[in-house]
């Protein structure tokens, strides 16, 4: 009797094994291919990139260098938080000029409003009119305004300055860092004066 049970058990095991082997193998789902991630070009902190294309000094940041290559800093308030209204500076250069881009969010643009600009010992005020005071010999400034000057009855949005400063008028030299500072104060329609700035030491690429 015992031998009969052994034979029966062996046959059962063989049958089960055969059944398992007859099952179609489970299909492995292919892993989805990861889309390649485009890496941003590496940027060296506080080094002003060099542009190879000509920049039109008109207050319009149409050239891709302003968004893709420029050194950019957003202004901070005295407490270290981002300044409001929003202000920022962007910097580029070529063989002849240092290019300064200045952005000001502004709900009421007035002709007296300005950025304070310091590059080494060179200092000027860059006004919402497009004027530099004192003027810099050989410098060129362009302004674009989204709004009207000196009209508090309407709601303005922003103004942008582009300034080309001859490198010969600055202290820049190969490998030399130059202190720079940019600042702006604004009094929106709530009559509360707010200021912001950025300063650092930069060299040319």
Domains and CATH numbers, the chain: 47-200 (2.60.40.1190)
Q: Find residue 201's DSSP bridge partners.
A: 179
What tokens does 20 get? 């398992």
pLDDT bin (cut points 50, 70, 90) of residue 44 is low
Tens digit of each residue's pLDDT (9 = 90 or more) over 143-189:
999 999 999 999 999 999 999 999 999 999 999 999 999 999 999 99
What tokens does 130 get? 């497009």
pLDDT bin (cut points 50, 70, 90) of residue 91 is very high
Q: What percent of the chain has pLDDT over 70?
A: 79
Phi-psi region of 59 (alpha: psi -120 to 50; beta: other; left: phi over 0): left
Cα–Cα distance for residue pair 165/187, rounded to 1 Å:
28
Of 10-19, 92-101, 184-193, the one with minimum mean pLDDT is 10-19
Q: Residue 13: pLDDT above 50?
A: no
Question: How does the average pLDDT of the chain come out, rounded?
Answer: 85
Cα–Cα distance for residue pair 132/102, rounded to 1 Å:
13
Q: Are 141 and 131 in contact (CB under 8 A)?
A: yes
Tens digit of each residue's pLDDT (9 = 90 or more) over 20-39:
444 444 444 443 333 333 33
Provide mean pLDDT across the span 48-55.
Answer: 92
The phi and psi torsions of 174 (rounded to 5 degrees) equal: -55, 125
């Amino acid at each position: 009797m015992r031998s009969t049970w052994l034979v029966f058990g062996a046959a059962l095991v063989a049958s089960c094994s055969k059944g398992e082997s007859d099952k179609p193998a489970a299909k492995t789902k292919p892993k989805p291919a990861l889309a390649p991630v485009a890496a941003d070009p590496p940027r060296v902190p506080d080094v002003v990139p060099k542009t190879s294309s000509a920049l039109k000094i008109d207050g319009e940041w149409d050239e891709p260098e302003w968004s893709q290559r420029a050194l950019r800093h957003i202004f901070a308030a005295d407490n270290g938080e981002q300044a409001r209204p929003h202000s920022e500076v962007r910097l580029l250069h070529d063989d002849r000029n240092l290019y300064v881009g200045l952005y000001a969010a502004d709900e009421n643009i007035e002709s007296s409003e300005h950025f304070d600009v310091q590059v080494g010992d060179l200092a000027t005020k860059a006004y919402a009119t497009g004027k530099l005071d004192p003027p810099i010999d050989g410098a060129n400034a362009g302004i674009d305004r989204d709004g009207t000057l000196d009209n508090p009855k309407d709601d303005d949005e922003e103004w942008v300055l582009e300034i080309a400063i001859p490198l010969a008028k600055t202290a820049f030299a190969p490998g030399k860092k130059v202190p720079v500072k940019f600042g702006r104060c604004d009094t929106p329609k709530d009559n509360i004066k707010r200021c912001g700035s950025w300063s650092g030491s930069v060299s040319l690429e």
